Amino acid sequence: MKLFLDTADVAVIRDMVPTGMVDGVTTNPSLIAKSGRNIAEVIAEICALVEGPISAEAVATDFDTMVREGDRLAAIAPNVVVKLPLTWDGLRACRAFADKGVRTNVTLCFSAAQAMLAAKAGATFISPFVGRLEDHGADGVGLLEEIRTLYDIHGFETRVLAASLRNPGHVSAAALAGADVATLPADVFKALVKHPLTDKGLDAFLADWGKTGQSIL
């Protein structure tokens, strides 16, 4: 499973890239607004740091403007993926981009039926929102499993990009549900490596090693 960073903070991305674990980046209008910077400049910097797919979202709600915005975003760098909302205009734009070879990420997916429409529209990625579904008492991980099954049965090539992941448990569950990608904030990304028994074991090893008086170097 690929791991994407969900952020528009270039400093955070620059810090995480040396781990070799960052396979791509997703952004959205809220993250761009939080950065306080021009979207084209931010996306260009991110694309220069990360070779994998970089999702940049169109903010228009009508088809014609959505396509114009998507064309502008896609022109920033070859690894830009145009992010579109799961609306009729968004799906129509998705098909238009698919027909001309531009990759897309259809976002704000909350049902398997929506995911089916996105796949039929030629989406490269579908982004089901796990955490937001759970906020409303629904089974977010269950949705990932439904979409995985639906896509496998019908041979859809759209990749499942699990979004709105709030904790390491969500990430593990997304992987086990068959998601192709998980996108997560930096704090969740960093938390994946943590476990209290790992820390306890390392402390014990270091304490014992200290008693030997040796140095490996």
pLDDT of residue 141: 98
Q: How far apart are CA 174 and CA 76, in angstroms?
A: 31
Catalytic residues: 83
HSE of 38, CA atoms in CB hemisphere, 13 A: 6
Query: Along the 217 residues of the chain, how does pLDDT read in single tens digits?
Result: 999 999 999 999 999 999 999 999 999 999 999 999 999 999 999 999 999 999 999 999 999 999 999 999 999 999 999 999 999 999 999 999 999 999 999 999 999 999 999 999 999 999 999 999 999 999 999 999 999 999 999 999 999 999 999 999 999 999 999 999 999 999 999 999 999 999 999 999 999 999 999 999 9
Would you state the pLDDT for residue 159? 98
Burial 140-176 (b: 16+ CB within 10 A, else e): bbebbbbbbebbeeeebebbbbbbbbbebebbebbee
Per-residue pLDDT, 127: 98
